Structure 1
Amino acid sequence: MIWPVFAATALAALADDSCDAQIFLQSFATQERPAGIYDAGPVAMTNFAGQMPSAVSPKTSCSQTSYLPSAIEKKFKLNAVQLTKDRHVLCGALKGTTEEWLAMNLKKTPATSKSDIFSQICPGPMATKQVIEPLVGLLRDPRFLCLKKPELFTFSVDWLVLADNKSFPSTTSSNSRRIFFDAGGSRFVDALNFFVTKYEERGIEMDQIYVWEMEKKNASQYWAGTPEDVRAKWEPRLTWYNGIPVSINEGDMHNPVHRIRELCRMGDFCAFKLDIDTPKVEGALVQQLLEDHGHLTEFFFEHHVQSHLMHLYWLRDINFDQNFEHSYDLFSALREKGLRAHSWI
């Protein structure tokens, strides 16, 4: 996750009417963009993710586990280094795609099997064929670094296409469990509130939540900023491993991949967000998912790699020997196994 001083200052400025805060926002809004950086048009940033159904229209059944990248994804995968080397090239390659992508996703427009933008995934035989956002650009909102407008788009999730109960009808069964695993949960309101709210909107209400956070804190710190009614709803369902780092050891109860394999059964809906900003540990856990992701349904992970465009945001917590070509390959490999794998912010 991008949480350096830059982000904290930006978020604080949004809630501050002081002169200094407004000067900060004005300077952010007027950052010089290279020639060719475009205006995204009328699509508003909501930071509440997309509304698009995750099932392909018309509804189609899968014959086997598979993944079909879209045309724009194939373009970026073939030219990963070239298309992500600077903002001018990046934004030029995304222009046109960005507007249609976000307009469809925010307006609940179903994607067809002929879409040049959205990729397709089959989680397994007899499953519903689904769409998922393409693996392109910097693996975040395609407006990132490309807008002339002053929105703080760094943390936008409008580009994501999450699963819903239409693509996973077993989630409506009383025998199905809906479990969320959060590795790196500093505060409920930072990310987990988004996930449980968005999934509930899409017909999947979590009934078990497991959270690991290495830095020990008291309950008031973890729930800070969370409305009382929201806390009252989710706290009884949440198991909080406070001050306990995740483990990469096979069979360890604090290895979230082990817990996923142990707890998640066929017909359950299980989602996992991995965000601990420690590449060595994250890499080991992702490798374990590649070997066997059990019955995990959806996965969120930010792969930190060497990138001129991202170095101010990721700083030193990166895989120095990898670039976005490796990121595309990694997420593709996970998706090819039927796992709805998303890049996170």
Structure 2
Amino acid sequence: MIRTRKRSSQKADRTTADTVKNVALILMIALNIFDRNSDFLSNFHRQLSEANGEVVVADQTSASSKQQQNSIYLPSRLENRIMERSQSELQYDQLRADECDLFHNKSRSDFYQEYHDYLKTLDDYTEAVKTYDVNLGDVRLVPREKRHSICQSMDDLLKGSFQVDTVLSKTREGFVEPLLPPLRHPRFCEAVDDVYKSKYVMKLDYLIHDFGAMCRQLSTSSKTVFIDLGASLDIHPEENPSLQLLELYQKFGIKFDHYYAFEATVIPPDQVYQKVPKKILPSFHWFNVPVEVNETSNQNPWNAVLSQYTEDDLVVVKLDIDTASVEIPLVDQLVEEKNVRIVDQFYFEHHVRMKHMLKFWRITARGTLQHSLDLFTKLRKAGIAAHSWV
């Protein structure tokens, strides 16, 4: 069975699109027999899916096949080249790999210029986001006749800065930032001699969100959910990354119905509610307990929270509890079919032994930069728009 989301009502175009689509699907199946992982197949499927403005999803006979079909990940050109040489040349599989080498090393001319060209474009996009203002409340409540133009304005914002098909990576949930060392804002590397002074250590401006895609996917019945694992409240709201992220979503018309905050450090309830901004209090749920890996535990966030929501809801998760023995099993559970269908956006600060970030992470760091690149690629291939967190 083929499900299509229509964006054009012209009968002639519809007939032509159907013919092209059916022929292309036959070719795609044939290609898949010979090479399931080929770049050509992935690009071919993307072109098919976007032909004549349609999103095409092919149902398969098994859940695993459906997940694979719906979760094709297309890394950006630069990300793809980095991954191809991440071990052989860049040596990201070594402990204390230099995550700022591409930023500083002009001798890597084939990477250096493209990397810095991306940064210039990222700066332009950051400014465009700051000035973006369509006076939105909750995009789910926007009348249907106005919704299309609002979603389109979000598309235009992204495409006005980036050549999206080559510069950005693409997941099931839309476009995302490419996976580039140092896996946080690249301008962190400007102050590499004294990273403690870098104003970019906690900056979120490197994150790319396809709000146009989210805008189209939300319906009036969709719930919006933010799950904050490691919800420190000791940081002033203006400096709290989680609250900054919520502000960004709200700027694009996404207000969260539920904010589930898990925090192991015991904090008296009266202090908690003094620190929570008033505008999120109505949606705020406080779990003052450590998260657990046991999948049947009520302190396992996937069991306690995700089980209450469906694919029609927008579910955003941030994981940053600085304990690898808990974080990694939770990430592994996240890519299970029952969970990966529900989570849309995922933010994770993966502590590994990189040369400059090690000064911050110290004993909490495990593994290598290559482990991080592989982990986020795995999540994105599973269908989740996964981002490296601060």
TM-score higher than 0.5: yes
* CA pair 83-223 structure 1, distance change in 2 beyond 3 A: farther
Q: Tell me if the contact between 2:258 and 2:284 (Cα under 8 Å) persists in the aligned partners.
A: yes
Q: Which residue number corresponds to residue 143 of structure 1?
A: 187
Q: Which residue number corresponds to residue 40 of structure 2?
A: none
SS at match of 2:170: strand
Q: Tell me if the contact between 2:228 and 2:317 (Cα under 8 Å) persists in the aligned partners.
A: yes
1:327 paired to 2:356 = no
Q: Deviations over 1:283-305 (max 9, x none)?
A: 00000012232311110001111
Q: Percent identity over the alignment?
A: 27
Q: Which structure has greater helix proportion?
A: 2
Shift of 1:278: 0.2
Q: Tell me if the contact between 2:188 and 2:200 (Cα under 8 Å) persists in the aligned partners.
A: yes
1:238 paired to 2:288 = no
**Total equivalences in the alignment:** 276
Q: Tell me if the contact between 1:101 and 1:117 (Cα under 8 Å) persists in the aligned partners.
A: no
Pick from 208, 216, 220 the counterpart of residue 258 of structure 2. 208
Q: Structure 1: how far apart are the matches of 2:77 and 2:217?
A: 31
1:174 paired to 2:224 = no
Q: Tell me if the contact between 1:265 and 1:295 (Cα under 8 Å) persists in the aligned partners.
A: yes
SS at match of 2:261: strand
TM-score, length-scaled by structure 2: 0.64
Alignment of 1:74-89 (within 5 A): 74-80=80-86, 82=90, 85-86=97-98, 87-89=100-102
Alignment of 1:28-177 (within 5 A): 61-63=55-57, 64-80=70-86, 82=90, 85-86=97-98, 87-92=100-105, 93=112, 94-108=115-129, 109-111=157-159, 115-123=165-173, 130-146=174-190, 152-164=199-211, 166-171=213-218, 173-177=219-223
Pick from 176, 180, 193 the counterpart of residue 243 of structure 2. 193
Q: Tell me if the contact between 1:120 and 1:132 (Cα under 8 Å) persists in the aligned partners.
A: yes
Bigger Cα Rg:
2
Shift of 1:115: 3.9
Q: Tell me if the contact between 1:164 and 1:202 (Cα under 8 Å) persists in the aligned partners.
A: yes
Q: Structure 1: how far apart are the matches of 2:127 and 2:302?
A: 32
SS at match of 2:328: helix
Q: Structure 1: how far apart are the matches of 2:376 and 2:201?
A: 21
Q: Tell me if the contact between 2:76 and 2:165 (Cα under 8 Å) persists in the aligned partners.
A: yes
Shift of 1:224: 5.8
* CA pair 289-168 structure 1, distance change in 2 beyond 3 A: farther
Q: Tell me if the contact between 2:158 and 2:210 (Cα under 8 Å) persists in the aligned partners.
A: no
What is the letter of the counterpart of residue 333 of structure 2?
Answer: Q
Shift of 1:90: 3.9
What is the letter of the counterpart of residue 91 of structure 1?
Answer: H
Q: Which residue number corresponds to residue 342 of structure 2?
A: 295
Larger deviation, residues 176-185 vs 112-121: 112-121
TM-score, length-scaled by structure 1: 0.72
Q: Structure 2: how far apart are the matches of 1:284 and 1:99?
A: 37
- Superposed CA RMSD in Å reads 2.7
What is the letter of the counterpart of residue 263 of structure 2?
Answer: E
What is the letter of the counterpart of residue 103 of structure 1?
Answer: D
Q: Tell me if the contact between 2:188 and 2:198 (Cα under 8 Å) persists in the aligned partners.
A: no
* CA pair 99-185 structure 1, distance change in 2 beyond 3 A: same
